[in-house]
Structure 1
Amino acid sequence: MTIHEIPGSEILVSIGIITISATISAIIARVFRQPLILAYILAGIIIGPYGLQIIINEKIIETLAMLGMALLLFMVGLELNLNRLRDVTRVSIGCGLGQIIVTFVFGYLLATAMNFNSVHSFYIAFALTISSTMVVIKLLSDREELETLHGKIVLGTLLVQDITTIIVLSALPKIEMLNIDFFINSLVAGIGIVGMAIITNRYIAPIILNFITKSVELLLLFAISWCFIFSLIAAILKFSIAIGAFLAGVSLATSPYNVEIIARVRSLRDFFSTIFFVSLGMEVPLMPTLMWQALVFALFVLIGNVLIMMIITEFFGYGKRTAFLTGLSLAQISEFSLIIANEGLNLGHINQDIFSLIAFVAIISITGSTYFITHSDGIYRFMIPILNLFHMGRKTQILERIPKNIKDHVILFGCHRMGSIIAKTLQMSRKKFIVVDINPEIVKSLMRQNINTIYGDISDNEILERINIKDAKIVISTIPNKNDNIFLLSEVRRLNPSAIVFTTANHLNDALELYKNGADYVILPNMLGGEKISEILGYRINRSEIEKLKRRHILQLEDLMRMEFLLSQDNKSIMRCVCSLGDRINI
């Protein structure tokens, strides 16, 4: 008896081959610093029926892809945190919806011009609109840019895109009816999904979770079962199982046990999402005739999406650096593009050629955007002359409050959290200082407080000239970007060698490099906590002093939270929140 004669052995062998090929491809990709999703898709192309034909059973491929997609979307739903939009709500929603609409329209026109029919053009255009949450978060996290201004805008935009994608997925069975009913049904389906998630989360899931959370095994089994139950309900209701899986995750997203569930399911998700992307690769035929079309669409994503996001981001009042880096981070199509295409293939809306075309675009754009994000600082500096030409003649809102002929002053770059504490100290000590920040909302807030400030970028020579850096006494940068700080040090040492310069770094090697480039002191946030505790232990050891320190720290944290909250609200909401927080502090 051979192994293939053993019942169920074929799917076991297939999973084994997929896992081994994915591992080898991932190791190669890691050596060459390429995205893992690209490696998984290429592995599938190689071992699939259009490559070496190691796995040719289409039913097995389809089943594994469907299982991986369900668990992937279940985790996306679990991690759907609307609080990410709080700091940049307006620009995130504006960028997300604006980019989807503009990119879709131009993508649809481009596809139509290339002689694709309306349904095929719809799938291609929508695939081009959504960016990869997995790729972007991974790369920005590696660069420690998730908490930067452009990082927050990117996260918010991705969240809007993901929600829109789920609504479109729910409407795919009705896509052939491209009329007002199609859009109404899509809207109703989206509202229904959110409503079901809210009701389930509030009244059903908490009862079950409170009973089973003491057992790790039960928690994992419950999470997987919950995913399959909702997928089954979605299938019965003629929806995609992707909708059911996403709905299952959303219904548990705000649970107190959300973190534990994510921790238990993540490894399983990673394994089956790997199988999903390899399975997608197995469905991609090697067709050179599609390559020129894929290249055109990929260039549209890599160049057109950057321009579209730049224009929309600047429309909301952000500068060229934030706008450019935001656009650069979103210059790829998503894993959801492949999910949409796969669903369309299963529904018979598109053929294998269209699916392959979208997969080729994904491979090209994900690879290109990886280099974009990895080398974003260098690309931005190289593009500054072109970006300046792009802005020439455009009227921009002036956000600054700078006294004339200021000298012997302190210049503070960045006024978020650590920077706001420094600014408050400078204000209390009545020192002359100017704040430079890239967030227009922070600058507006400082202007309302009559604090000298200017909206601008640390690497903009024009800004450095306007704040009179050649006559400054102290320069402080709370921005942890090493390249930006090296640029600042070179300019300060060239224009004002006697100035005292403080910079910030997140890593020891970066701090040492900044010292070599002329920094007088490098702030390491991760070490400040230890230094502060050491200081407290040195002279505050009695209970009463510790209590005073605690109360002062709580008030300081509340001040920071109040500032962050106020920046995200409109003027009417600001007044209500100020009154509420003021009453709380008085109590």
Structure 2
Amino acid sequence: MVEVGLASDVATILVAAAIVGVLAVKLGQPTIIGYILTGVVIGPVGLGIVEPSIITDTMAELGLAFLLFLLGIKMRIGDIRHLIAPIVKISIPQMAAIGLVGFGLAIALPFSFEEAVIIGLAVMYSSTAVVIKMLNDKGEATSLHGKIDVGILLAQDIVVVIILAVLAAGRPEDAADVAATLAVVMVLVTVTTVAAIAASRYVLPPLFRRIADDTTFLFLVAISWLFLFVLVSDQIDVLLAPFGVDAYLSVEMGAFLAGLAIAQLPYSKDLQGRVNPLTDLFVMVFFVSVALDFEARHLLEYWTEAIVVAVVLLVVKFVVFFTLLYWQQFDLETTFLGSIGMIQVSEFGIVVAVAAAESDPPFIGQEELGFITLVALLTMSVSVYFIQYNKQLFERVKPHLSRWEQIDPVEPADTEYRDHVVVVGYDEIARRALRILEERYDEIVVVDRNVEHVEAIEKAGYEVLFGDFQYEKIRKDAGVKYADFVFSSSDQMEINEMILRETSEETTVFVEAKTAEEAEKLYDLGAGYVIMAPQLGVAQFMEYLESYVENRSSFDREIAADMELLRSGRLFPDITDRPGGDDD
């Protein structure tokens, strides 16, 4: 009966969170808020349907591990290398300033010194979930202010991981104990980081290369790699006890480093798409479980103080970010948009608060945890609207901010693809097509998920993304939306329809089709040319492609002729019988 009850609790959490999450999306709120409110409603604060249990606690801990693992997988240093210097110069003073403001506000309110320290540590980050979700929704993730915000968030997240590791060590007795704990943590973090990087260079590449073609096994090995680091992190004190070392390393740090090792491999983007759904599931349970531990009096014990602190932080965070971005000489619009997006308190602030409340002995009580959670909820909710209407706000305040316009603003190098070629799949036709396309285009990126193909593409000197084109992350990184020419050597209708939906009207798209019916549908969707393989020989297709590159008007006439033949049902006339065939 107990097992049935626990299963029922998990089912209730998942169903309720899904329903409230959908409502949150409809209302323009981050799903995290929906998940926490779900815990409030179904937990002791509300209806009392679900109580904290071993299963919910375990799933919540796994949710945190998966969240940090996914964060690690996304951290490819090369993607933000050109912004590392300004990001570091902004992130460190920003966290220090906001942390001090949070500490000062807490001291001015009815909180002890120790509680104020935790509050300061909890409020100094911005929300990765809110900022990245809104940037993606608005198509601003690749903008300059989007890159800056994402880079700062990554820097903040690294600090979060270190703080979580320190909190996992428990309450220090004095300043020397704090220093010793931090030193042990930093040594372990350094050693584990070196081990993870070494593994990403010497252990994982040959292993993943052997299994990459089996997508299911690749996913399972990646998850096993995560749990290996989680196990080592969780049991590090037991492993080092025989050597007389009292060591601490958080599960979150282990999960993050496991992801960091995979991030440096060409398979990381494909794995992101596969890990995301599982992460979302466990993260959903985590944030619901956060609220399950609340009682109404805990969440609302300091509600007036929470409102005051939330309002002050919204203003102070904007001012601090604006000042620091201006200091780094970004243009006025980038400075404003980058600052307005970072004004909320992060979900990781709640994570830090939970870790502090669950430490042995705890640093803060449930009332303080409720206070921090309420501040985060309020700031995240309000910030969504500031981000949604950020450009309208900028236009309104621009006349008043003109004095801060930079004379010579910094313009970091653009690493995004624009007006380039995207080739999906790598076969004989694609290989020959690349030779023709490289004569006209400077940037060509090929998407394929066959290891041998990827190695051949890299050897040929082309940019390559390993992964399944059906994953949004792969399409986004390939810059399909901004491509000038897309060639798909796949005859899968769902992939080719996806390409035609996501490309702009100015993009020329060549795709393959199995039947005349599919070809006609693809033409109706906007395809520039549909290859009827295997009816069309490779040599003939090369003629078409050369015609497109060298003589566009001739190519257009040939396509019009092919459309006429396609609709007439005469698919295989002699080449000289084709209308317009003499134009060559």
TM-score range, shorter chain: 0.5 to 0.7
The aligned residue for residue 313 of structure 1 is: 325
Residues of 2 paired with 1:543 and 1:57: CA distance? 63
Q: Indicate yes or no: 2:149 matched with 1:154.
A: yes
Structure-2 change in CA distance of 1:123 and 1:193 (3 Å): farther
TM-score, normalising length: structure 2: 0.66
Residues of 2 paired with 1:341 and 1:525: CA distance? 44
Residues of 2 paired with 1:414 and 1:210: CA distance? 34
> SS state of the match for residue 168, structure 1?
helix
Q: Indicate yes or no: 2:40 matched with 1:45.
A: yes
The aligned residue for residue 424 of structure 1 is: none
Structure 1 residue 187, shift from structure 2 partner: 3.8
> SS state of the match for residue 395, structure 2?
helix
The aligned residue for residue 234 of structure 1 is: 233
* 1:386-405 per-position Cα deviation (integer Å, ceiling 9, x unaligned): 435xx4xx7x76339xxxxx
1:323 maps to amino acid: T
2:337 maps to amino acid: L
Structure-2 change in CA distance of 1:529 and 1:304 (3 Å): same
Structure-2 change in CA distance of 1:186 and 1:299 (3 Å): farther
* 1:171-222 per-position Cα deviation (integer Å, ceiling 9, x unaligned): 2226635454455445434423421221222233234323433433322222
The aligned residue for residue 105 of structure 1 is: 100
The aligned residue for residue 393 of structure 2 is: 379
The aligned residue for residue 140 of structure 1 is: 135
The aligned residue for residue 279 of structure 2 is: 269
The aligned residue for residue 25 of structure 2 is: 30
Residues of 1 paired with 2:413 and 2:369: CA distance? 47
Q: Indicate yes or no: 2:507 matched with 1:529.
A: yes
> SS state of the match for residue 329, structure 2?
coil
2:133 maps to amino acid: K
Structure 1 residue 20, shift from structure 2 partner: 0.9
* 1:497-518 per-position Cα deviation (integer Å, ceiling 9, x unaligned): xxxxxxxx99xxxxxxxxxxxx
Q: Is the 8 A contact 1:41 1:277 kept in 2?
A: yes
* 1:526-550 per-position Cα deviation (integer Å, ceiling 9, x unaligned): 3333199979xxxx9599899999x
The aligned residue for residue 258 of structure 2 is: 248
Q: Is the 8 A contact 1:328 1:376 kept in 2?
A: yes
The aligned residue for residue 284 of structure 1 is: 294
Residues of 2 paired with 1:419 and 1:350: CA distance? 48
The correspondence of residues 44-443 of structure 1 with structure 2, limited to 5 A, is 44-172=39-167, 173=169, 176=172, 177-178=174-175, 180-181=179-180, 183-237=182-236, 238-287=248-297, 288-347=300-359, 348-388=362-402, 391=403, 398-399=407-408
* Count of residues in correspondence between the two structures: 428
2:307 maps to amino acid: L
Moved more, 92-101 or 281-290: 281-290
Structure 1 residue 103, shift from structure 2 partner: 0.9
Structure 1 residue 274, shift from structure 2 partner: 0.9
Structure 1 residue 385, shift from structure 2 partner: 4.5
Structure 1 residue 267, shift from structure 2 partner: 1.3
Q: Is the 8 A contact 2:44 2:296 kept in 1?
A: no
Q: Is the 8 A contact 2:301 2:367 kept in 1?
A: no
Q: Is the 8 A contact 1:197 1:247 kept in 2?
A: yes
The correspondence of residues 518-557 of structure 1 with structure 2, limited to 5 A, is 526-530=504-508
Structure-2 change in CA distance of 1:62 and 1:90 (3 Å): same
Q: Is the 8 A contact 2:56 2:285 kept in 1?
A: no
Q: Is the 8 A contact 2:332 2:406 kept in 1?
A: no
Q: Is the 8 A contact 1:223 1:265 kept in 2?
A: no
Structure 1 residue 160, shift from structure 2 partner: 0.9
Residues of 2 paired with 1:259 and 1:420: CA distance? 20
> SS state of the match for residue 226, structure 2?
helix
Identity of aligned residues (%): 28
Structure 1 residue 277, shift from structure 2 partner: 1.2
Give me the CA root mean square deviation: 3.5
Structure-2 change in CA distance of 1:534 and 1:274 (3 Å): closer
Residues of 1 paired with 2:182 and 2:399: CA distance? 43
Residues of 1 paired with 2:509 and 2:214: CA distance? 40
Residues of 2 paired with 1:38 and 1:420: CA distance? 36
Residues of 2 paired with 1:338 and 1:162: CA distance? 13
TM-score, normalising length: structure 1: 0.66
The correspondence of residues 454-493 of structure 1 with structure 2, limited to 5 A, is none
1:304 maps to amino acid: V
> SS state of the match for residue 366, structure 1?
helix
Structure-2 change in CA distance of 1:419 and 1:22 (3 Å): closer
1:528 maps to amino acid: E
Structure 2: gaps (5+ residues): 237-247, 420-480, 483-501, 511-526, 530-541, 552-584
The correspondence of residues 565-580 of structure 1 with structure 2, limited to 5 A, is none
2:215 maps to amino acid: V
Residues of 1 paired with 2:392 and 2:122: CA distance? 29
> SS state of the match for residue 527, structure 1?
coil
Residues of 2 paired with 1:59 and 1:212: CA distance? 35
Q: Is the 8 A contact 2:121 2:349 kept in 1?
A: yes
The aligned residue for residue 522 of structure 2 is: none
Structure-2 change in CA distance of 1:110 and 1:182 (3 Å): farther
Structure 1 residue 247, shift from structure 2 partner: 1.9
Residues of 1 paired with 2:321 and 2:139: CA distance? 21
Residues of 1 paired with 2:416 and 2:179: CA distance? 51
> SS state of the match for residue 505, structure 2?
helix
The aligned residue for residue 406 of structure 1 is: none
> SS state of the match for residue 224, structure 2?
helix
Structure-2 change in CA distance of 1:369 and 1:548 (3 Å): same
Q: Is the 8 A contact 1:71 1:269 kept in 2?
A: yes
2:234 maps to amino acid: A
Structure 1 residue 125, shift from structure 2 partner: 0.8
1:204 maps to amino acid: V
Residues of 2 paired with 1:47 and 1:32: CA distance? 20
Structure-2 change in CA distance of 1:330 and 1:84 (3 Å): farther
Structure-2 change in CA distance of 1:137 and 1:199 (3 Å): same
* 1:309-330 per-position Cα deviation (integer Å, ceiling 9, x unaligned): 0000000112332212111111
1:321 maps to amino acid: E
Q: Is the 8 A contact 2:301 2:371 kept in 1?
A: no
Structure-2 change in CA distance of 1:17 and 1:542 (3 Å): closer
Q: Is the 8 A contact 1:295 1:361 kept in 2?
A: yes
